[in-house]
Chain A
Amino acid sequence: MTHGNEFELNRRTVMKLGVGVAAVAGAAVDLSPKVFAAETAPAKAPALGARLSRAEGPLKVTGQARYAIEQKLENLAYGVTVQSTRPAGRIVNIDTSAAKALPGVLDVYTAQNFLKLNKPTVYSKGGGATEEFTPIQDDVVRFNGMHIALVVAETFEQATEAATLLKVEYEDGDPVLDINDPKAIAQLIDPMGAARGDAATALANSEVKIDVTYTTSREYNVPMEPHACIASWENGKITVWEPSQWVGGARSVVSEWLGIDIENVRVISPYVGGGFGSKIGAHPHVGLACAASRKLGRPIKVSLTRPQTFTGLRGRPATRQTLSIGASKDGKISSIVHESWNETAIDDVHVEACNNVTKIMYATPNFSSRLNIVPVNTVQPGWKRGPGENPSAYALESAIDELAHALNMDPITLRLANWAEIDPSNGMKWTTRQLREAYAAGAEAIGWWSRTPAPCSMREGRELIGYGMAAGSYPMIRTASEARIVLHASGQIEVLSAGTDMGTGTYTILAQTAADALGVPVEAIAVRLGDTILPRSALAGGSQQANNLTGAVDKAAKNARDALLALAASDPKSPLAASKATDLTFENSSVRPTRRPSAGISIAELLKAVGKDKLEIEGNTFAPGATEEMKNGADRSFAQLKGAVEGGVSAHSWCAHFVEVRIDEDFGTIRVKRMVSAFDSGRIFNPKLAESQWISGMVMGLGQALLEEGYVDQRDGRTVNANFADYAVPVNADVPDIQVISVGIPDMQATALGGKGVGEIGVVGVAPAIGNAVFHATGKRIRSLPITLEKLA
């Protein structure tokens, strides 16, 4: 990152922070005091804003962080799911006799010998589930790759072998295979459309028109840690170790599946090996694990294989968008007419909000947008980084580039000519919108103004060179959350939240937040996350968690300071008992009389003096008077989620991406040579972690642009490249020199501490920037992703 508040903590401090945090974060809470024996901090700069490495990093790279299925449980049995090989119809019979005859096999569950799972409530209806589908409850085949059985055995190998021995008899139905299937029937999602002015007429009357269709393929989140869990039923209660972006949601879904009180469900997820949206919901295999554990009275581990993850849950659906833009010859956009279609499961609804960027990015008086879903025989699609915004920006920002070319205008100049002073979709003011700064910084860093604008005009040997750019946005959503701080007489301080850290840095920034608010070195703080027994938190998704939780921790820390002052003034055993709380000050982790700086005592000394071994203080960001029901709603559903226009202002993160591509003119192979992106994510809590998020989003965008595509067999709907050799994601060699620039300023209207979303914005707009660069290099406009070499032939 090129500017921002940077300073280096020495390496040892960082390592210590890691060990400290992790010791608490691990399943067994070992608060051994030596780990926390604080050293004087090397610098007295604020911790928030510092470039700290991930606190739990050392544990992960040394293999000590225990992921969900690495828990060691007594008497563990192994469940392996079997997936359908037909896309539609019924299962007439599953012969399990050969499987059951194998040594070690405990049982085989199918629709004929079934484990009851109640339908969970999906998030759109107030629950925590991402799909209503529950496997093996009936004989209907909904898609190829659907779980149709669970084989449970003493060992994984036995279960795997037994799973191959089921004899499944199908009665074929008539499938709708994908979004292009002529049998597919689209359904309009009217409430999610948008309209202002008279878009059709304005388009018809405009001087210059762009009328294009853009498509994206099925994409998969493919986190390194596959979807895999352990469920353990004991005496009417269940504990589930599940890699989760949202333990509260998973908890409510498990209670619904099993029909048990939510108090009897605990979900634990201290470490998550990536999710990118796919671990927000607990997916159906988790239900099978839970129900089987209850049935057998043993802990059960169910790990989807990599191929099974492609149909055990889904990533981004295939999309199609039509976009018409009308403009005057001098580049003023007068109308945008947009319509989108995305695949969804035949009996579940997933809407990809493909107009989220389209409707706010440019000032046009006339606008209309309609969203449609296309039910097909597929596993329910889900969220993949930048859901909605990502395809939205792809079509819009590609079409804007087409318009720039048609007008013979520079793409940045065209964007600035249509700058939206206010949110055009609702007339509200922006909170902050540093997008002009992003254009300027990105253009400068990549050398935009020295490109020759004509397509095919730049080359080096047999390589065609192309420069492209595109912008993006991501809405600032927020949910009130809780946090707890535990001050120990030993001097250690714990910060607790049910929120999870999927590698994004939650452990680290919460320690930074608490350290600043309590005036202690960051290594004195131990953070514990990812467990439903901890204070309630919304999901780690939609780029909201960092702001939700830093806000809650900051509140808890303020409450802790007040509690310490009150304790010091009121407890007869306190050395400061003679003072009034209002005459005391909290500073640098000690309480002192405001007028006598030298008479301070540390938190630990105070606690020892009053005979307490710890003090627990809660804090939250709920409005005063929030009920328990509201707090549970925030933890288990989207009921308390506040959108981008909360408070009558419009809050979004913004970005501008710039790329240089090199294309081999003989082979059509595209290599991205450089990427430079500038982001407005408001205040940055930890530049190193924010940069990692942005960069990883950009790499994901590169994969989307050039490589990633689920292939569907047109006879039976099977995903035939459901593995890492055939579903290509970028490898290191594909990832170019990447520069990220922060242009944000603290946005106090957006969030408590001034941050905006970081995690999702990185991917939004990357694919159109690359597509636009391909056009610049070759003069060929490829309107479908990914841009593989045969498309350039």
Chain B
Amino acid sequence: MRTFEYLRAEDAATAVVEAAKPETRFLAGGTTLLDLMKLNVERPARVVDITRLSGLDTIEVSADVIRIGALAKMSKVADHADIKEAAPALSESLWRAASAQLRNMASVGGNLMQRTRCTYFRDPGAYSNCNKRNPGSGCAALDGVNRNHAVLGTSGVCIAIYPGDFAVSLVAFDATVIVRGASERKIPVDEFFLLPGDTPHLEHQLSAGEMIVGIEIPRSAALERSHYLKVCDRESYEFAAASAAVGIELEADGKTIRDVRIAVGGLATKPWRLRVVENLLKGKTLDEATLRTAAAATVDGAKSSGHNAFKIELAPKSWHAP
């Protein structure tokens, strides 16, 4: 491990200034960052510990919006009574992720920023060819073992999955990420994450020094009737083979779909909102036939790289299987 400088930020303003310096990373729960440092993927010269910043771990559920501080622990958010009630999918996407120990350490800000589990990305000693780590060097996964690589949103230079669960539910319900740099700005979470295109090393909208301070999720009837489903070989503690955050609001008749939100995970290079499918469903009667027809559109444009072909079969089922 490279020797690095450790700074503990006492206030957000200093944290942001310090983090803007070259080769610097924020440290929250450390469950992604320290792993990647041990693997030699991340080699920061400086680490700014933000865990002592005050006021960034709050959880507020008001009449029309849910606000979660970036430093709130995954476990705290998942267990929060109001969140469970107002936004079951958010809670479920958190407690279905990682393990109890990790959830107790990890922050939701760090969670959004977790990096791909592409095994070639994580093995720099053996594979120099990774466009995400080393732009222009090639992609070892394209012809490698790619059972857990993306089938949606890929490019010819990178097929790495965005592995997180929580962001999938955030994307489904139009959350915004609140970011603080020199000033504060809000970024819709769908725009926050970038497609790999030709620049897979650019994964998000943050510029140097910018820190996530919170997440806002507008409340909706669909969010209240929502669910996060995760399909894996192992019952728990595994990244998704496919997952879906789904919320639905019915008309007074109890069967016509007024509002529906669907996003899928474990399939794409970023949390993947299925707006086309949502539009196919809105105004329709909620029944199995309608769902199956719409579900086919889940994998529009999907592309297999070999071992991951099964995901294309699995994906539509991840959200329509009642």
What does the 1/0 interface line of A659-684 toward B look like (CB < 8 Å)? 00000101111010000000000000
Quote the shortest CB–CB distance from A399 to chain B (angstroms): 25
Quote the shortest CB–CB distance from B127 to chain A (angstroms): 8
Determine whether B264 belongs to the interface, using a CB cutoff of 8 Å to chain A: no
Nearest B residue to A726 by beta-carbon distance?
B119
- Given A157-B1, A711-B145, verify A164-B125 contact (CB < 8 Å): yes
B6 CB contacts on chain A under 8 angstroms: none
Q: Quick one: which of A711, A720, A788 contacts B233, CB cutoff 8 A?
A: A788
- Given A666-B321, A667-B314, A793-B313, verify A731-B237 contact (CB < 8 Å): yes
Q: Is the interface of B mostly helix, strand, loop or mixed?
A: loop
What does the 1/0 interface line of A45-79 toward B look like (CB < 8 Å)? 00000000000000000000000000000000000
Determine whether B144 belongs to the interface, using a CB cutoff of 8 Å to chain A: yes
Determine whether B173 belongs to the interface, using a CB cutoff of 8 Å to chain A: no
B40 CB contacts on chain A under 8 angstroms: 164
Determine whether B246 belongs to the interface, using a CB cutoff of 8 Å to chain A: no
Quote the shortest CB–CB distance from B111 to chain A (angstroms): 16
- Once the chains are docked, how many angstroms separate the CA of A789 from the CA of B315? 13
**Contact status A85-B125, CB under 8 Å:** yes
Q: Quick one: which of A161, A164, A715, A786 contacts B143, CB cutoff 8 A?
A: A715
Determine whether B235 belongs to the interface, using a CB cutoff of 8 Å to chain A: yes
- Given A666-B317, A713-B144, verify A720-B236 contact (CB < 8 Å): no
**Contact status A733-B235, CB under 8 Å:** yes
- Once the chains are docked, how many angstroms separate the CA of A317 from the CA of B151? 32
- Once the chains are docked, how many angstroms separate the CA of A161 from the CA of B317? 46
A718 CB contacts on chain B under 8 angstroms: 123, 126
**Contact status A160-B1, CB under 8 Å:** yes
What does the 1/0 interface line of A213-235 toward B look like (CB < 8 Å)? 00000000000000000000000
- Given A164-B40, A164-B125, A789-B310, verify A669-B232 contact (CB < 8 Å): yes
B148 CB contacts on chain A under 8 angstroms: 726
**Contact status A707-B233, CB under 8 Å:** yes
Quote the shortest CB–CB distance from B178 to chain A (angstroms): 30
Determine whether A721 belongs to the interface, using a CB cutoff of 8 Å to chain B: yes
Q: Quick one: which of A85, A160, A721 contacts B126, CB cutoff 8 A?
A: A85
**Contact status A734-B234, CB under 8 Å:** yes
B231 CB contacts on chain A under 8 angstroms: 667, 669, 789
Determine whether A706 belongs to the interface, using a CB cutoff of 8 Å to chain B: yes
Determine whether A125 belongs to the interface, using a CB cutoff of 8 Å to chain B: no
A12 CB contacts on chain B under 8 angstroms: none
**Contact status B238-A720, CB under 8 Å:** no
**Contact status B321-A707, CB under 8 Å:** no
**Contact status A667-B321, CB under 8 Å:** yes
**Contact status A728-B238, CB under 8 Å:** yes
- Once the chains are docked, how many angstroms separate the CA of A666 from the CA of B244? 14
- Once the chains are docked, how many angstroms separate the CA of A63 from the CA of B1? 27
Task: Name B275-322 residues within 8 Å CB distance of A.
Answer: 310, 313-314, 317-318, 321-322
Determine whether B186 belongs to the interface, using a CB cutoff of 8 Å to chain A: no
- Given A713-B144, A734-B235, A788-B233, verify A720-B120 contact (CB < 8 Å): yes
- Once the chains are docked, how many angstroms separate the CA of A789 from the CA of B234? 10
- Given A161-B3, A711-B145, A715-B143, verify A667-B317 contact (CB < 8 Å): yes
**Contact status A706-B123, CB under 8 Å:** no
What does the 1/0 interface line of A555-570 toward B look like (CB < 8 Å)? 0000000000000000
Nearest B residue to A157 by beta-carbon distance?
B1
B115 CB contacts on chain A under 8 angstroms: none
Q: What are the 10 A-B residue pairs with the smallest beta carbon separation, nearest first?
A: A790-B310, A666-B321, A733-B236, A733-B235, A85-B126, A666-B317, A720-B119, A711-B145, A734-B235, A667-B231
A-B contact pairs, 17 of them (CB 8 A): A144-B126, A161-B1, A666-B321, A667-B242, A668-B314, A669-B232, A707-B233, A720-B123, A720-B144, A721-B145, A725-B239, A728-B233, A731-B236, A789-B231, A789-B314, A793-B313, A793-B314
